[in-house]
Amino acid sequence: MQPAGVRDNQLHDSNSQKVHPQPMEEATNQNPEAVEALVSKIFGNISSLKSAYIQLQAAHTPYDPDKIQAADKLVISELKTLSELKHFYRENNPKPECVSPQDSRLAAEIQEQQSLLKTYEVMVKKFQSEIQNKDTEIVQLQKQIQEASLKREKLEKNLKLRGLSAKESESGGSENGILPVDLTPDLFTSVVEAAYRAIHDFSKPLINMMKAAGWDLDAAANSIEPDILYAKRAHKKYAFESHICQRMFSGFQQESFSVKQDNLTVPKESFFNQYLAMREMDPLDAVGQNPDSLFGKFCHSKYLVVVHPRMEASFFGNLDQRNYVMGGGHPRTPFYLAFLKLAKSIWLLQRLAYSFDPPVKVFQVNRGSEFSEVYMESVVKNFIVDESDQKPAVGLMVMPGFWIGGSLIQCKVYLTGVKVAE
């Protein structure tokens, strides 16, 4: 039995000892498997986060919006998982009171919510940016729709000019082998070039037949336009081309093309329909099917003014072909067939000119006019002008020019008094 004094001392020593809360390490060590699993999840989450971030960087080079969006969603998902692990740890392992005050946990929660709020703010800004991009795309699509509507209206107008409906066009406008044709300045320009080639082509047999008939070509060229100084004797062929051009284009500015017709008012659609109908047709077939058509009458009148009676008599020894034409017929001779090709090209050009609204305007230049590179094109390309001499002057006009809207198609001229480079 211990003395009373000894027991009092032991009791005093025992009371003087402080009881501390169990350390965190000890509390944690009570369930090491759970902690190990949590740590494994954290490391796995960090690895996934790293992989998602690498994918996000890779999506920028080259720039791929779809891959960027997918990688961005993956990064946010991994961040959310990491936040959930953090919450799980705090709920199952609260901090002892001796380590931090009572409000530390609330402060941590507030900080966590602030971080989440920032994340959501970033996402909201991103969504707003995407909405703006979509709005821009909508505006662009609306603009494309308007442009498509204008194109459709233009196409419908062209279809109307061709006498076709939209349904007929959709069912196939080329069933008869006729491809769609747009009424454009480029089309008119190509028809002008074809008309000039036709004049040139018809002048060749005309000159050859004059040679065969014993004509003096120098005198004939001088009678067409006297006192022209030609750079070469071969250039006198342009006098005959000018003669054909002047006769064929006479009355071009009139809708009727100097052809008498019952209906004087012809709608624009009718002009273009006439062009399309004649475009792919053989001219001999056209006059054969309807000799007294507008085109048939046009061929009658133009043949009689282009081919002089004396010329025809020297070619054939008589005027039988001329009389046949004057009687309303269309002979099948090679010479007349060559003329029909010329007549068709000029007829198509005039029908097309009046298909435009406003109609195409034709203009001519007179002999002696000063050469202008704006309004004229020389048929001889390699001419030389001396600096001491006056500016070149027009000797012959072999093809008129045209005004189509705000565009100009130059007339073709032969310049007099110039030299040609050898």
What is the C-alpha separation between 243 and 239, in angstroms, rounded? Answer: 6
For 195, 206, 227, 318, 342, the CA distances from 302, given in Å and listed in that order, are: 15, 15, 27, 19, 10
Backbone angles phi, psi at 413, to 5 degrees: -135, 155
pLDDT in tens, the chain (422 residues): 455 454 454 444 444 444 444 444 444 445 677 777 777 777 777 777 777 777 777 776 667 778 788 878 888 887 888 888 777 777 776 655 444 555 556 766 676 677 667 667 767 777 787 888 888 889 999 999 998 888 888 777 666 555 444 444 444 444 444 456 788 999 999 999 999 999 999 999 999 999 999 999 999 999 999 999 998 999 999 999 999 999 999 999 988 888 876 655 566 678 898 899 899 899 999 999 888 889 999 999 999 999 999 999 999 999 999 999 999 999 999 999 999 999 999 999 999 999 998 999 999 999 999 999 999 999 998 888 766 667 889 999 999 999 998 899 999 999 987 888 77
What is the C-alpha separation between 109 and 102, in angstroms, rounded? Answer: 13
Instruction: Using alpha carbons, select from 171, 193, 169 the residue that is nearest to residue 181.
Output: 169
DSSP string, 331-400: ---HHHHHHHHHHHHHHHHHHHHTTSSSPPEEE---TTPBP-TTTEEES-SSEE--TTSPPPEEEEEEE-
What is the C-alpha separation between 234 and 204, in angstroms, rounded? Answer: 12
Beta bridge partners of 416: 393
Instruction: Using alpha carbons, select from 187, 190, 184 the residue that is nearest to residue 155.
Output: 184
Neighbours of 24 (CB within 10 A): 14
What is the C-alpha separation between 227 and 393, in angstroms, rounded? Answer: 13
What is the C-alpha separation between 315 and 320, in angstroms, rounded? Answer: 11
Instruction: Using alpha carbons, select from 241, 236, 244, 220 the residue that is nearest to residue 416.
Output: 236
Whether this model's pTM surpasses 0.95: no
What is the C-alpha separation between 62 and 236, in angstroms, rounded? Answer: 69
Backbone angles phi, psi at 317, to 5 degrees: 80, 0
